[in-house]
Amino acid sequence: MNDGNKIPVIGFGTYAPEYIPVSLSEEATEVAIEVGFRHIDGAHFYQNEKEVGRAIQKKIADGTVKREDLFYTGKLWPTYHSLELAELNVTQSLETLQLDYMDLFLIHRPLSLKAMEKCKDAGLVKSIGVSNFNRRQLEKILNKPGLKYKPGCNQIESHPYLNQSKMLEFCKAHDVLLVAYSALGSHRHKYWVDQSSPLLLEDLVLAEIGKKYNKTPANIAIRYQIQRGVVAITKSYNPDRIKENFKVFDFELTPEDMKTIDGINRDFLYVDIPLFAAHPEYPLHDEY
């Protein structure tokens, strides 16, 4: 990242829809660490920090990893955006997670950056970034007079059906890392995702390319992001799929493969939250 800190190129997302028992967050996170994931993507909003923290502590206690081997990302929810509440939010999350610091802390929705800077100054987080910012909002932050810390990344929805090529180009030009959530598409949350949406992992192009390498469509979608210089966040509560999703470092897509996958882009958004649509800073009002 632009602050000199490093972030693993593939992360394990801990968010789960309401029909998944919260207890499974602990089991899934343990499996993810055991198979090799070192980047854990969480948030206060996910309401499973206790379970995720227990899993992390178990894997540290049994010698699988050391704390410095792991990269933990947390997020500041909009109700905590004042200077005082932001620090309280981080402190409470760290206590629940049983961690001394977060490696990356993101603004979950476009609002203030001052609170984030305060948390970094206090040593509660190592790096700060933003999430769900469109180009205009990110540019506004980057051009802010007296900006103390440049955002290290912008975490947004991105996958082969929404490759975010314009945002990726903008981020690279400004030394801001792009992090892709819903990197495998999404059907998990019935309130945010139209259940009639196309299934990315059933895409024939991804399946055909996968056959060349004896890989799953998910492997191809993840590898596509990695080769674009994008950090891919994947989610699954199925132990076999968690293991399978990590098998992306023993092959490389050709330039022709990459171009073919570029061609299935539909600018299709899975995750939309109408609850925020009336806000003047709702990021989806802009093209990108």
Q: Count other Cβ atoms within 10 Å, centred on residue 117.
A: 16
Instruction: Report the alpha-carbon distance of residue 200 to residue 230 in Å, rounded.
Output: 18
What is the reported pLDDT for 197?
A: 85
Inform me whether the pLDDT recorded for 113 exceeds 80. Answer: no
* pLDDT tens-digit series, residues 120-163: 999 999 999 999 999 999 999 999 888 899 999 999 999 999 99
pLDDT at residue 251 is higher than 70: yes
Predicted pLDDT of residue 109 = 62
- Give CA separation, 261 vs 10, 107, 168, 223, in Å: 19, 30, 16, 11
Confidence of residue 242 (pLDDT cuts 50, 70, 90): very high
pLDDT in tens, 174-213: 999 999 999 999 866 666 677 788 899 999 999 999 999 9
Q: Which of 15, 19, 46, 270 is catalytic?
A: 46
Question: pLDDT tens digit string along 88-104?
Answer: 889 999 999 999 999 99
List helix spans (H) across the chain: 23-35, 49-61, 83-97, 114-121, 135-142, 165-173, 204-213, 217-227, 239-245, 255-262
Residue 281: pLDDT band (50, 70, 90) is confident
Cα–Cα distance between 82 and 2 in angstroms, integer?
25
Q: Looking at per-residue confidence, does 113 or 161 come out higher?
A: 161
Domains, the chain, ordered by start: 10-274 (3.20.20.100)
Dihedral (CA of 158, 162, 163, 166) sign = negative
User: Does the annotation count 237 as an active-site position?
Assistant: no
